[in-house]
Amino acid sequence: MTRDYSQFLGTAAPNPAPRTRLTQLGWQGFFASQLDADALSTTPPVRVTEVHRSGLVCIGETLDVEVPPDDDLTVGDWLLYDAEHPKNSVRLARKSLIQRVAAGRLKYLQLIAANVDTVFIVTSANADFNIARLERYIALCFEAEVEPVILITKSDLAADADAYLARAAAISDRVPALALNAKADDVKARLANWAKPGRTVAFLGSSGVGKSTLTNALADTTLDTQGVREDDAKGRHTTRHRQLYLTKDGPAVLDTPGMRELQLTDVGAGISELFEDIEGLATRCKFRDCAHESEPGCAVQAAIAADTLDPTRLDRFRKLAAEEIHNRESIAEKRAREKGFAKHVKRIAKEKPNRR
Ligand SMILES: Nc1nc2c(ncn2[C@@H]2O[C@H](COP(=O)(O)OP(=O)(O)O)[C@@H](O)[C@H]2O)c(=O)[nH]1
Ligand SMILES: [Mg+2]
């Protein structure tokens, strides 16, 4: 064991070892524990920092490489890079995974980011602010086992930023909320609690709320930011793809394009965590199959009558839970259809073995 004698030297301790690029990339014990010493030299770890149709940009301690596209990989994933056969690079187990139902008619799961420690859910103190949408993001984070923090930007432009802050802070005891000016000099200091070296943080939220402005503040980057339509506070899409940025002395930072629609699936546990107060009340209803409408002995309706539960919160819970079930069923159906189709193709191939 090496002893640290610095305290006996009288003068300041020598400079600490320079930070390695792996730490800057957000490398943690959780990933290190998955590999043995041999693997480190033959297949070094690299992190996916950008996803493009043509391939995945990956960065490691001493290498910048590209790996062929793969639908099962997303930004933030760690791979053991196989230089001879990049396609065979092995993905390390994920600490967290954020996914949503892709927007559009055909429902499928879209991976948004892996191995994020903190998600800053960004909204502004204006028409963008929407409790139901914030709850969606929070349920997503709880499910993904990522710590959510609500940031309300443009506090400098709003006369009543404190009122927005109070509404955001009331959503859950477990989710801190901050109001701030994303363009001010104190952003790094205000986010320091979560934006720590060796960790990974991500900004999620609509277009125009200040995600790239905040990324610039943390990562000293100069990403394009753009004006917002005055009338409805809607932003234009300036950021086109997700990208992870390294910082000199802070966390790895993920900037994302605005999400027009955040549809959830497989977030039952996240929804339960967020609405645990309502679920707790429901266990005290007289009837086990109580629909919390007009049944006698309903503890949920009693709480509404006693003004301890906001009825609009119950509505939002119902809507989110119903949507979750609907999306889960649609995706299960689509998978079953695809499976059926694959079987069909296999059967045809078998029946006509000589045809090419
Ligand atoms: N005054 C003020 N402007 C902001 C704030 N946050 C973002 N902006 C501006 O809002 C616009 C959109 O910001 P941007 O970072 O591109 O938003 P993004 O789409 O979420 O990445 C830019 O013109 C920013 O300068 C804020 O807290 N205060
Ligand atoms: Mg942006």
Q: What is the pLDDT of residues 247-263, one digit of tens each?
A: 988 999 999 987 766 77
pLDDT of 224:
64
pLDDT band at 268 (very low <50, low <70, confident <90, very high): confident
227 alpha carbon – ligand 1 mean position (Å)? 7
pLDDT-derived band at 192, boundaries 50, 70, 90: very high
Per-residue model confidence (pLDDT) at position 352: 60
pLDDT of residue 103: 65
Q: What's the pLDDT score for residue 83?
A: 92
| Closest-lying ligand 1 atom to the alpha carbon of residue 213 | 15
User: CATH assignment of 97-255?
Assistant: 3.40.50.300
pLDDT at 231: 54
Residue-level pLDDT at 228 = 54
- Inform me whether the pLDDT recorded for 7 exceeds 50: no
38 — pLDDT class (breaks 50, 70, 90): confident
Q: Which atom of ligand 1 is nearest to the CA of 122?
A: 20
Spacing, Cα 211 to ligand 2 middle (Å): 5
In this model, does residue 1 exceed pLDDT 50? no
Pocket test for ligand 1, best of 153, 154, 156, 225 (most atoms within 8 A of CB): 225
Residue 272: band (very low, low, confident or very high) from pLDDT cuts 50, 70, 90: confident
Q: Which of 213, 237, 260 gets mutated to test ligand 1 (max ligand atoms within 8 A of its CB)?
A: 213
| Nearest ligand, CA 184 | 1
Question: Tens digits of per-residue pLDDT, 203-226?
Answer: 999 999 999 999 999 987 776 666
pLDDT of 13 reads 42
Give residue 11's pLDDT band: very low, low, confident or very high (50, 70, 90): very low
pLDDT of residue 2: 47
Calculate mean pLDDT across residues 55-84. 93
Closest CA to 204 of 271, 152, 255, 241: 255
Over residues 304-347, the pLDDT tens digits come to 999 999 999 999 999 888 888 877 777 777 777 777 767 766 77
Say which CATH topology domain 268-350 has: Ribonucleotide Reductase Protein R1; domain 1 (1.10.40)
Average pLDDT of span 113-126: 97
- Sketch the domain layout of the chain as residue ranges: 21-91, 97-255, 268-350
pTM of this prediction? 0.82
Cα 224 to ligand 2 centroid, rounded to whole Å: 7
What residue owns the CA closest to ligand 1's atom 14?
Answer: 210
Architecture of the domain spanning 21-91: Roll (2.30)
In terms of average pLDDT, the best of 139-143, 176-180, 292-296, 348-352 is 176-180
Atom of ligand 1 nearest to the CA of 184: 27
**Least confident segment among 210-219, 229-238, 345-354:** 229-238
Q: Is the pLDDT of residue 140 over 50?
A: yes
